[in-house]
Amino acid sequence: MSITATELEILKIINEKNGLLSMRELSSKAGFEIGYTYLLCKSLSKNGCVGFFTHSSCRITAKGKSLLMEQERIKAERLT
């Protein structure tokens, strides 16, 4: 499974905010229009990385957290 760098950034923001965030706050933090943010979250939802708590808020899943940890591990390996 692969996700884009933009989707990864969305996951990082949700994770930093204790795993649950409204679309409005998420779009503000990411600097994207709310419709684009929702589209990114829908894509992450299809991959199982994000689940929707309500129509207007989402949370990171265990799979999403695992993917973030894996990306950080890969990034650390490249730097060494």
pLDDT tens string 22-65: 999 999 999 999 999 999 999 999 999 999 988 889 999 999 99
Q: Residue 32: what pLDDT?
A: 96
Instruction: Identify which of 32, 64, 33, 28 has the alpha carbon closest to the alpha carbon of residue 46.
Output: 64
52 bridge partner residues: 58
Q: Which pLDDT value is given to residue 39?
A: 94
pLDDT at 72 over 90: no
Q: Which domains does the chain have, with CATH numbers?
A: 5-79 (1.10.10.10)
